[in-house]
Amino acid sequence: MTKVLIIEDEKNLARFVELELTHEGFETEVCFNGRTGLEAAVAEDAEWDVILLDLMLPELNGIEVCRRVRQVSNVPIIMMTARDSVIDRVSGLDHGADDYIVKPFAIEELLARMRALLRRIEIENEENSRKQTTITFKDLTVEKENRIVRRNDEVIELTKREYELLVELMENVNVVLSREVLLQRVWGYESEVETNVVDVYIRYLRNKIDVPGEDSYIQTVRGTGYVMRN
């Protein structure tokens, strides 16, 4: 089922869109301000297929929400706003929105835009699946375009952060990466996060990829950081 996050502070409009999308078979969630919307959009377990994002939001405006989401996710975003100036449209698209719809809009237009966007993403994914870039380490394989991790034929389910941390280590085999470097490369804009977060996520990753009774794929270099060694 297609999952849609609606970030809209006009409650009547939000409820209307939610009901119409539910009627069309979408699974929806509504947030009424930019901060809670951002939290829902970038949550570790977030699996949104589309985000409908209002421009004028309390606490955090839609442009800023869009900018921050784009730093961690490529989820399709359609901006919804009553402001129809060229500069608003350009600003939304420049900060990562995929499309733009002006209020008041007919629900049929919104549905058509969502279908077109999802169809385009599906075509892109099909093209990517035909030209996978893979990286390997021992019996681990990562299909980068599909964001799939396998040990032999077994798929290992990872969160976005765990996946990006693993890729960073696998692309730097035999190179010791400090906690600070991993924090910068994987967390990026959240650089104020404490470096012990890296240790926590290494533990999460080991719990998922390591084979019980065997040496860990990821070695700890005391006082420095982590490395995957051949």
CATH class, 3-129 region: alpha beta
pLDDT of residue 191: 53
pLDDT of residue 160: 87
pLDDT of residue 71: 84
Cis ω for the linkage preceding 104 (within 30 of 0): yes
Distances (CA, A) of 152 to 21, 143, 181: 40, 13, 29
- Give the integer Cα–Cα distance in Å for 187 and 49: 22
Buried/exposed code over 35-49 (b: 16+ C-beta within 10 A; e: otherwise): ebbbebbbeeebebb
Q: What is the CATH number of domain 134-227?
A: 1.10.10.10
> Which sequence spans correspond to the domains of the chain?
3-129, 134-227
Strand bridging mode 177-178 / 154-156? unpaired
pLDDT of residue 128: 64
Task: List the chain pLDDT tens, one digit each, 230 residues.
Answer: 899 999 999 999 999 999 999 999 999 999 999 999 999 999 988 889 999 999 999 999 999 999 999 888 889 999 998 766 667 667 777 788 899 898 889 999 999 999 999 998 888 777 766 666 889 999 999 988 788 999 988 999 998 889 999 999 999 999 999 999 998 888 875 556 677 889 999 999 999 999 999 999 999 999 899 999 98
Predicted TM-score (pTM) of this structure: 0.57
Instruction: Give the pair of three-digit tokens for residue 143.
Output: 């299909």
